[in-house]
Amino acid sequence: MTITHTLPKGFLYGFATASAQIEGGGEESEKESGRGDSIWDAFCDQQGKIRDGSHVKKTCNHLEMFKEDIALMRSVGANAYRFSLSWPRIVPLGGKDDPVNQKGIDFYNNVIDECLKNGLTPFITLYHWDLPLELFKRYGGWLDKDKIVEDYTNYAELCFRAFGDRVKHWLTFNEPWCTAVLGHGFGQFAPGHKSNTEPWIVGHSQIVAHATAAKLYINKYKSEQGGTIGITLNGDWTEPFDDSPENIEAAQRKMDFAVGWFADPIYLGHYPESMVKALGDRLPKFTESDLKLLKGSSEFYGCNTYTTNTIKATRTDDEFAGYTTMDFDRPDGSLIGPESQLGWLRDVPWGFRKLLVYLYQRYKMPIYMTESGWAIKDESSLTVEEASTLLKIYLDDQGRIQYYKGYLQALKEAVEIDGVDVRSYFGFLDNFEWASGLIPRFGSVYVDYETFERTPKDSARSLMKFFKQNVPN
């Protein structure tokens, strides 16, 4: 029997995490590790900011359990591990002239070495939202472009030097839209600011910081270390509510504000015209030197996506959605996908395929899928004992299996039928879900947050089985 592998040789698949979501084992161990506070520490300290009162200092204790975690990933069949470095764990105060925490360097060296020992490709994110708190206190963090670009680039180069001999896949930023909008627009994420001017400044600073650090890597380290570098952007498919011209235009405008805000400057060299027209002087302008840095600064397209929205041209005050109306309904009254634990998340695999095709055709870059996942409704209310009664070895999470089944089939079709160059796909470990705390469970591995015990779910097995069958050995 001949097996036809749909996905390319070298395709990476496994688990994706962020330092702030999984590393903390408690206040004492974090203090002992030498990590400085991030803006998320300060945010968690404010009453009512985190839904269940949990804290980044105590999440999944990956700091002490990384060997077990990596072994578990390998045991279920993963070939890669995408994780982020904590800037304040490496440079506790964050600045270019501030001292480096050797314990932090040692920890990540150990994680990388453990990955390689277990046959996992380390895929590293330099910035996943945990800005050193001291930099925010000194000058407002991402609100001061010149200072933050200098400090971030210094931190990035420190990581290239320390880890680049073994790390060949780099991401400069994870979802800069969230830092800008949720952190500085709606105030739902750290640092908790509400503004209609700050998000555009913060987004601009991150774009320039990305380009500066990426070009530094490409020009100074790439030839010797042989790696590749890019950025990961969030963005869900926007489906016009119907085929009316105004709703089609609105869907594109929403895509401009969600994806084009960052992708167009990085890959096309300019902001989307719809944003320039809508925002006027609030949208910062790139200098000539900025534009030179941007060109060729991302060697692939990193994509985080979860769901799809239907879009209507009915005007709203939500400028971050391009003033459109977002929902999940169709003209016939039906909904485009089943509900999850979270109101913004629906299971819509056909939208995922459309997004992959759109991104590949528009930006003409290979795509690394770096995040996708599903939070089953009411899963968080089950104890591990209750969940274990459903299946003795692997925890039963059929809703997540169904989600992955649809999205992976859509990925196959995008590659096989549409010709999209996709090179990775990553799932999740249960972890600290930012402002939602420990309540939503996105993982294919269950975490008991009191004992830190890990238990694989059925979706981990089915997810890895798919890749074993579809990726050449």
* Cα distance between residue 472 and residue 348, in whole Å: 28
What H or E segment, with its residue span, contains residue 122? strand 121-125
Q: What is the pLDDT of residue 50?
A: 97
In 3-state terms the chain splits into helix, strand, coil percentages (rounded to 5) of 45, 15, 40
CA distances 286 to 204, 289, 292, Å, are 8, 8, 10
Classify each residue of 344-383 as buried b or exposed e, where b means 16 or more C-beta atoms within 10 Å of its C-beta: ebbbbbbbbbbbbbbbbebbebbbbbbbbbbbbeebbebe
Contacts 24+ apart (CB under 8 A), 329-334: 329/241, 330/241, 331/241, 331/242
Residue 7 lies in a domain: no
The helix/strand/coil state of 115 is helix
Residue 1 lies in a domain: no
For position 73, which CATH number holds? Answer: 3.20.20.80
Q: What is the pLDDT of residue 388?
A: 54
Residue 3 lies in a domain: no
Instruction: Report the pLDDT averaged over residues 416-435.
Output: 94
- Per mean pLDDT, which range of 164-173, 237-246, 338-347 is the poorest? 338-347
Residue 5 lies in a domain: no
Its pTM stands at 0.96
Residue 396 lies in a domain: yes
Question: Would you say 351 and 236 are in contact if contact means Cβ atoms under 8 Å apart?
Answer: yes
* Cα distance between residue 372 and residue 206, in whole Å: 23
Domain span at residue 441? 12-470
Catalytic residues: 175, 371
Residue 4 lies in a domain: no
Is a pLDDT exceeding 80 seen at residue 242?
Answer: yes
Is a pLDDT exceeding 90 seen at residue 356?
Answer: yes
* Cα distance between residue 303 and residue 78, in whole Å: 19
The helix/strand/coil state of 228 is strand
What H or E segment, with its residue span, contains residue 230? strand 228-234
Q: What is the pLDDT of residue 193?
A: 98
The number of distinct structural domains making up the chain is 1
Residue 304 lies in a domain: yes
Question: What is the gyration radius of the CA atoms in the chain, in angstroms?
Answer: 21
Is a pLDDT exceeding 50 seen at residue 114?
Answer: yes
**What is the end-to-end Cα distance of the chain in Å, rounded?**
16
* Cα distance between residue 382 and residue 247, in whole Å: 41
Residue 448 lies in a domain: yes
